[in-house]
Structure 1
């Protein structure tokens, strides 16, 4: 007779999911800090800047004005129209408010899309390195992730020929971020156009383009693949306010999509969360209709920190580094340390190294295993210059102990 346990009673869907590695590392870092250790956290994907004042003021006004009731499921009319205007002006995407669905963060936006278009067994091509939640969201939608890797030698960007080779009759969607979390890679207009030309050959394939780091781009103008005419009706552009506007806790994201996909996401969201926070939507409206000076200032600071961190990493023997073109992460290859050990701790994979750096040096990072790159670790440089210098000093010292 089998024994019933609490785990047995959980759904197979839940048991198949992995915990977010970034959130898990952040939790462990907080536990160590709570024990009195001076932990430098470089694991969380969060700006260390305050939300700009005019955005906070808009939220305060919304409260004072009593804007505290339910909103339409896909977002307020004014915010959706403002987002459509932004996408047309900045991204070359010809949308109306009906094409926009505002959600409780871009994470929910992506989940809505996948649940709307993926049937059991459908394949989703994901460019690796990838954000940790992509694969888990595909699992929830009962799809199959097909991983196509970009190498450090190509700045972690997937080559069009590798994408084309991965397409099968079961392929339903392609999912990637640019600028990329975790690598900082930015696809150029030419690279994205080449990808679009491949997609154009396959009428059943959609592109889910995660552009949440759009404003943190160090190399030039951001390009949206949805602006390529041949596939504009099969691209879902995902964006939000967390990164560029330093609004992580406000939880506002959105999609721009063909109307029928937007309507499908509206339907799903109506049964899960309904509309996102009314006050946060007023703040988001102030952000998207205001000037970008604060976002640009933050991007300048991130670029300076990028140069600082990559320079210090290059001084560490055995670490391979590329120069990220966007976002606020560097993704060094630490494969030369795999198999080494210290005081009985053996480094078998990147997550082991990340844990070693946390326990030994009190610096939190995230192992690349969760990002589809088991030879790398992700280091966020959304931290002060002093903390970054000290963290890299500790990392260098810890790695020197491994033999």
Structure 2
């Protein structure tokens, strides 16, 4: 989660410099601690914000490819022209499903968020038990980004090598942090906990066993 002070600073800079802020808030409901602050909380958002959200995460409608944008009228008009000439429109029955989802009960969503928080706690505690791993508990979404630099230094592997070896040796998929444009991902792995607790326990147990085996040989 972004600190509200940091968000305010970005928004003030955008207004001062005439920069358009594109804010993808698809994970806005997946918040476990703290409060999520949207760019739309700024009363002047219409002047410089393009807000993007969708139904894939909150309503588990990933295959429906349904989303929406909030922006100034002229921005929406330009986007409508592009949409008309690329995909025409989202099928009507999918749009109707989106309306049903928006009007539906919130208890189901709240139960899902509580379950994801439980999964977050499980994977966080398990990762902490792996030698050479440092990890910060995520406050939102369903990914965790453990620091594996100590392991890499000891066994002389790159982040990509470690991720590939984990896949080959114990059949667990992790994403090297270097898969993202920011090179700050070097020395990190990204794991998703969008699965049941049993799978999480099994997957982390395999990673732990593999890490312990390669560290014992150094």
TM-score, normalisation: structure 1: 0.51
CA gap 1:291/1:189 in 2 versus in 1, 3 angstroms: farther
**Aligned runs of 1:4-403 on 2, under 5 Å?**
186-203=1-18, 205-339=19-153, 341=155, 347-348=157-158, 350-371=159-180, 372=182, 373-402=185-214, 403=218
Take 1:251 and 1:187, find their aligned partners in 2: how far apart are those partners?
Answer: 26
Take 1:375 and 1:232, find their aligned partners in 2: how far apart are those partners?
Answer: 39
Take 2:102 and 2:34, find their aligned partners in 1: how far apart are those partners?
Answer: 20
Give the deviation of 1:295 after TM superposition. 1.2
Give the deviation of 1:245 after TM superposition. 0.8
Take 2:46 and 2:7, find their aligned partners in 1: how far apart are those partners?
Answer: 13
Task: Please give the per-residue CA displacement for 1:283-328, whole angstroms capped at 9, x wherever unaligned.
Answer: 1111112222111111100101111111111111111100101001
Contact 1:330 1:380 in 2 (8 A): yes
CA gap 1:398/1:201 in 2 versus in 1, 3 angstroms: same
Give the deviation of 1:340 after TM superposition. 5.1
How many residue pairs match? The answer is 212
Contact 1:245 1:294 in 2 (8 A): no
Take 2:21 and 2:29, find their aligned partners in 1: how far apart are those partners?
Answer: 21
Q: After alignment, is 377-386 or 283-292 more displaced?
A: 283-292
Take 2:34 and 2:153, find their aligned partners in 1: how far apart are those partners?
Answer: 40
Q: Where in structure 1 do 4 or more consecutive aligned residues deviate above 2 Å?
A: 188-191, 229-232, 337-341
Secondary structure of the structure 2 residue equivalent to 1:379: strand
Q: Structure 2: give runs of 5+ residues left out of the alignment.
A: none
Specify which structure has the higher proportion of helix. Answer: 2
Give the deviation of 1:347 after TM superposition. 2.3
TM-score, normalisation: structure 2: 0.91
Task: Please give the per-residue CA displacement for 1:87-145, whole angstroms capped at 9, x wherever unaligned.
Answer: xxxxxxxxxxxxxxxxxxxxxxxxxxxxxxxxxxxxxxxxxxxxxxxxxxxxxxxxxxx
Q: Structure 1: give runs of 5+ residues left out of the alignment.
A: 1-185
Take 1:202 and 1:187, find their aligned partners in 2: how far apart are those partners?
Answer: 21
Task: Please give the per-residue CA displacement for 1:352-379, whole angstroms capped at 9, x wherever unaligned.
Answer: 2211111111111111111231221111
Take 2:164 and 2:94, find their aligned partners in 1: how far apart are those partners?
Answer: 36
Contact 1:196 1:230 in 2 (8 A): no
Q: With a CA cutoff of 8 Å and minimum separation of 6, indicate the structure with the bigger relative contact order.
A: 1
Secondary structure of the structure 1 residue equivalent to 2:68: strand
Secondary structure of the structure 2 residue equivalent to 1:229: coil
Counterpart position of 1:143: none
Counterpart position of 1:108: none
Secondary structure of the structure 1 residue equivalent to 2:85: helix
Take 1:231 and 1:281, find their aligned partners in 2: how far apart are those partners?
Answer: 26
Task: Please give the per-residue CA displacement for 1:163-205, whole angstroms capped at 9, x wherever unaligned.
Answer: xxxxxxxxxxxxxxxxxxxxxxx114333112212222112x1
